[in-house]
Structure 1
Amino acid sequence: MEFHGRHVVVTGGTGALGTAVTAALVEAGAVCHLPVRSGPPKGFPFADHPRVALYRGVDLVDAAAVGTFYDGLPGLWASLHLAGGFAFGCFRDAEDDTLAGQIAGNLGTCVLCCREALRTFHRSGAEGRIVNVAARPALEPRAGAGMAIYAATKAAVAALTVALAEEVAKEDVLVNAVAPSIMDTPANRKDMPKADFPAWPKVEEVAATILFLASADNRVTRGAVVPVYGKT
């Protein structure tokens, strides 16, 4: 998959999956634009890479900040929306800030970034790609027991993806999403030490699916919410 010289936004680009996506894009020749609220975590391997630009102070739940970020980009090829958060627990005990945070972090950031990416594509008259990140409970809601608000917000991301894909198909913009199950990350291994780690999808494997959907090699796939479950 060839990304040489193509400009790609990666939200959540310094997280576990985001780092894998950024690594794959850099290897494929892309120029990566990563909005971050404060700064990359210690040890982020692409902090000084010449084709990875970090934009500090970008709050992805702030419409004005998101608009300013996208307005300053060069010719955009793809926008990949990995930013989000997870909350587990009994729904009736959920605090107001937990509910609001899940809605804003999972759905709100995706909505704002999709909108600004589409505006950027429209201004330039160029084709483009959008890839969102849903989750397995978005496709299998019963799997969302104990994480209901997370499942609901990721289901909304999936619905947004399919609706937008239909809306902009004639504009040469392909919109898709991936729906991972629990991914093999250090944090997940720590939280679930007795799990079957080899069965979990690896972040590099999920990243490979995202890259295909975002690539020029993808000419026809739109409106897909692709399960990336591994062996689980």
Structure 2
Amino acid sequence: MSLKLDGQIVAVTGAFGILGMAVAEEIVRQGGRVAMIDRAVEPAGILPALLADALLLGNIDLTSYESAQKAIGQIVSELGALDALVNIAGGFRWETLADGDLASWDFLYAINLRTAATASKAALGALLKSSAGRIVNIGAGAALKSGMGMGAYAASKAGVARLTESLSEELKDKGITVNAVLPSIIDTPQNRADMPDAEFDRWVKPNDLAAVISFLLSPQASAVTGALIPVSGRV
């Protein structure tokens, strides 16, 4: 059986983090080539052997359209094309409205929603030249039902969901699919440190989420667009 992403060139934002690294590895495992974009200057620690040939683009501010355009231009210049974009760049803060800082709403909007919109806009020209363009966004289960202290985060991720839906309608007759995954709690070292008494085995493993994302990038998902797919583990 042929590899699902054989020959596809995929840009991943937030790629130096736990999920970004898992997604990048899965893309290569499925036969694709990956460009790894991140705000950090370089990955922490040793890069996995599987990613030895990945194009690394560090110190990229994806809240800036000019910076995003430059990164996409470098990908096309060095790899020859761009077939797909995975928007992982983002972050989290837990704050109640009463005790929190209103600046958190602007911060989470910028890193969760604006980065996805900016990267997508910058990539559109290249994606439209692909025979099977793909955009996959990382939303959150909290975008559908929020909880205490989750307001700013959930609002920014709800924006990602609406961006996914609207952009899928905009592009559905132009050969580009746009979908989002909505994870619950991802099993990362930071989340374990923040919730040490939780049942970690109920959380979503980064590799499992990466497999869903890989499917959405693949030719097998050509009929799926505008979908908001819960990936909840057993939370």
TM-score by length of 2: 0.92
- 1:102 counterpart = 2:104: no
Distance 2:229 2:101 in 1: 32
Shift of 1:40: 0.9
Shift of 1:114: 1.3
Gap change, CA 1:217 and 1:125, over 3 Å in 2: closer
- 1:93 counterpart = 2:99: yes
Matches within 5 A, 1:2-17: 2-17=4-19
Gaps of 5+ in 1: none
Which residue matches 1:33? 35
One-letter amino acid of the structure 1 residue matched with residue 88 of structure 2? L
Which residue matches 1:58? 60
Shift of 1:125: 5.7
- 1:211 counterpart = 2:217: no
Which residue matches 1:179? 182
One-letter amino acid of the structure 1 residue matched with residue 87 of structure 2? H
**Deviation per residue, 1:102-149 (Å, 9 max, x gap):** 111001100101112222223x26430000000011122xx3321211
Pick aligned residue for 2:89 from 75, 83, 90: 83
Between the aligned residues of both structures, percent identity stands at 37
Distance 1:135 1:197 in 2: 18
- 1:127 counterpart = 2:132: yes
- 1:114 counterpart = 2:120: yes
Distance 1:206 1:170 in 2: 28
The residue matched to 1:206 in structure 2 has which SS?
helix
Distance 2:143 2:103 in 1: 22
Pick aligned residue for 1:139 from 144, 147, 171: 144
TM-score by length of 1: 0.93
